[in-house]
């Protein structure tokens, strides 16, 4: 096995261990909650007229284990169901599988967050290069100030300001939902989906812009003092070539942060989706918390954990591929 293969296998093994740890914590957390949700659900089924066997079977379908079994057997059954991709059934959606509910909400989080993240990364990196190279000029100072201001504004403030200006005052963009038309691959539906996604995407982009700008500026300033930049300038390279040298070396640390941001985006969408009444994973998680839907909460938390772990592994592997120094 090559060095890269061993490194990949080690990262995957560590990721599986972390997923197992989170799943174990979730299992015992559900059992430790007041009233033991499994026992409460079992009693509700008995009151509905089910036999004890039927009630236990329904609880097992919902939670992956029954409260009347020994703890090791409950834990083993839970892990076995989890290994098969069975996250249980939702209690607030009348027994609908949790995997199906999360799968339906996932695209409405991934697409807006991914779009906003990419836009903010491209704009923030470009602005960070200019702010570093022109840091003694007025433009450099203004760009740095804009990044500092935006990075310090809370999430809900940015979302409410955009909502107030573009929906309440100017009536340019819609609020709530994903579309005003019936779903289908047609121009009215696609156009309506884009309109409803503009405000969440802009919010994501603005919130990330300041961080990318300041990080890129700091990285560029550190690269400007390296010997290879001085040697390139002494050779009389053009400004465009110089900027390319600087950008390629300064952007390397940001790739790690970018990959991690893809994983963290699932958890960071809660406040934005709640503000814009956008039906993504964040809104789903808030609803699950409000209705005490423990299986749906567990599934959402587990998905966020897996996304962060996968993004961490991807970031490490990508950094190995794009930076020859790390490979050596």
Domain boundary pick from 88, 116, 145 = 88
pLDDT tier, 303 (very low <50, low <70, confident <90, very high otherwise): confident
In this structure, the answer to whether residues 134 and 269 fall within a common structural domain is: yes
Give dist(CA 16, CA 18) in Å, integer: 5
Percent of the chain whose pLDDT exceeds 90: 24
Q: What is the pLDDT of residue 215?
A: 93
| Helices and strands, number each (H, E), in the chain | 16, 0
In a domain, residue 68? The reply is yes
Domain boundary pick from 88, 113, 147 = 88
pLDDT tier, 89 (very low <50, low <70, confident <90, very high otherwise): confident
* Predicted confidence (pLDDT) per residue in 278-293, tens digit: 988 888 888 888 777 8
Cβ–Cβ under 8 Å, residues 306 and 82? no
In a domain, residue 95? The reply is no
Domain boundary pick from 88, 116, 147 = 88
Residue 309 has pLDDT above 70, yes or no: yes
Give dist(CA 151, CA 159) in Å, integer: 14
In this structure, the answer to whether residues 134 and 206 fall within a common structural domain is: yes
- List, in sequence order, every residue forming a beta bridge with 89; answer none if it has no partner: 97
Mean pLDDT of the chain: 84
* Predicted confidence (pLDDT) per residue in 59-85, tens digit: 777 776 666 667 788 788 888 888 888
In this structure, the answer to whether residues 22 and 112 fall within a common structural domain is: no
In this structure, the answer to whether residues 150 and 205 fall within a common structural domain is: yes
Cβ–Cβ under 8 Å, residues 278 and 175? no
In this structure, the answer to whether residues 120 and 50 fall within a common structural domain is: no
Q: What is the pLDDT of residue 311?
A: 82
pLDDT tier, 247 (very low <50, low <70, confident <90, very high otherwise): confident
Q: Which two tokens stand for residue 209?
A: 């812009």
Q: What is the pLDDT of residue 96?
A: 86
In a domain, residue 93? The reply is no
Residue 326 has pLDDT above 80, yes or no: no
In a domain, residue 97? The reply is no
Give dist(CA 99, CA 303) in Å, integer: 10
In this structure, the answer to whether residues 308 and 277 fall within a common structural domain is: yes
In this structure, the answer to whether residues 149 and 10 fall within a common structural domain is: no
In a domain, residue 98? The reply is no
Residue 323 has pLDDT above 70, yes or no: no
pLDDT tier, 160 (very low <50, low <70, confident <90, very high otherwise): very high
In this structure, the answer to whether residues 170 and 202 fall within a common structural domain is: yes
Q: What is the pLDDT of residue 216?
A: 93
Number of domains in the chain: 2
Average pLDDT score over residue span 44-70? 77
Average pLDDT score over residue span 193-212? 92
In this structure, the answer to whether residues 305 and 169 fall within a common structural domain is: yes
In a domain, residue 99? The reply is no
* Predicted confidence (pLDDT) per residue in 105-146, tens digit: 989 998 898 899 999 999 999 999 889 988 888 888 999 999
The range of the structural domain enclosing residue 30 comes to 3-88
In this structure, the answer to whether residues 55 and 117 fall within a common structural domain is: no
Place of tokens 């929906």: 167
Q: What is the CATH number of the domain that holds 189?
A: 1.10.3720.10
pLDDT tier, 241 (very low <50, low <70, confident <90, very high otherwise): confident
Cβ–Cβ under 8 Å, residues 295 and 91? yes
Q: What is the pLDDT of residue 196?
A: 93
pLDDT tier, 258 (very low <50, low <70, confident <90, very high otherwise): confident
Evaluate if pTM is beyond 0.75: yes
In this structure, the answer to whether residues 70 and 146 fall within a common structural domain is: no
In a domain, residue 96? The reply is no
Average pLDDT score over residue span 262-291? 82
> When comparing pLDDT for 27 and 267, which is higher?
27
In this structure, the answer to whether residues 25 and 74 fall within a common structural domain is: yes
Helix (H, G, I), strand (E, B) or coil at 268: coil
Cβ–Cβ under 8 Å, residues 275 and 238? no
In a domain, residue 267? The reply is yes
pLDDT tier, 25 (very low <50, low <70, confident <90, very high otherwise): confident
């Amino acid at each position: 096995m090559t060095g890269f293969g061993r490194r990949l296998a080690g990262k995957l093994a560590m990721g599986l261990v972390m997923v197992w740890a989170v799943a174990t914590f979730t299992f015992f957390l559900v059992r430790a909650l007041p009233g033991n949700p499994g026992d409460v659900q079992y009693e509700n089924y008995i009151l509905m007229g089910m036999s004890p066997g039927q009630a236990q079977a329904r609880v097992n379908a919902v939670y992956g284990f029954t409260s009347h079994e020994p703890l090791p057997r409950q834990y083993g059954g839970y892990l076995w169901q989890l290994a098969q991709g069975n996250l249980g059934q939702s209690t607030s959606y009348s027994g609908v599988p949790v995997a199906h509910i999360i799968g339906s909400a996932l695209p409405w989080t991934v697409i807006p967050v991914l779009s906003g993240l990419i836009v903010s990364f491209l704009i923030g990196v470009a602005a960070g290069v200019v702010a570093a190279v022109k840091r003694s000029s007025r433009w450099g100072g203004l760009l740095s100030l804009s990044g500092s201001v935006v990075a310090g504004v809370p999430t809900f403030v940015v979302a409410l300001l955009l909502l107030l200006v573009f929906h309440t005052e100017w009536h340019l963009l819609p609020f709530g939902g994903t579309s005003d038309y019936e779903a289908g691959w047609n121009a009215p539906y696609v156009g309506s989906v884009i309109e409803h996604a503009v405000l969440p995407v802009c919010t994501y982009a603005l919130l990330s812009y300041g961080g990318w700008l300041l990080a890129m500026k700091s990285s560029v300033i550190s690269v400007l003092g390296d010997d290879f930049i001085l040697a390139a300038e002494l050779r009389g390279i053009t400004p465009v070539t110089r900027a390319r040298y600087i950008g390629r070396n300064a952007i390397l640390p940001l790739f790690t942060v970018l990959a991690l941001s893809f994983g963290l985006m699932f958890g960071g969408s809660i406040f934005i989706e709640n503000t814009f009444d956008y039906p993504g994973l964040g809104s789903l998680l808030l609803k699950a918390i409000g209705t005490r839907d423990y299986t749906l909460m567990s599934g959402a938390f587990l998905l966020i954990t897996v996304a962060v772990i996968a993004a961490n592994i991807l970031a490490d592997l990508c950094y190995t591929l794009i930076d020859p120094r790390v490979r050596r």
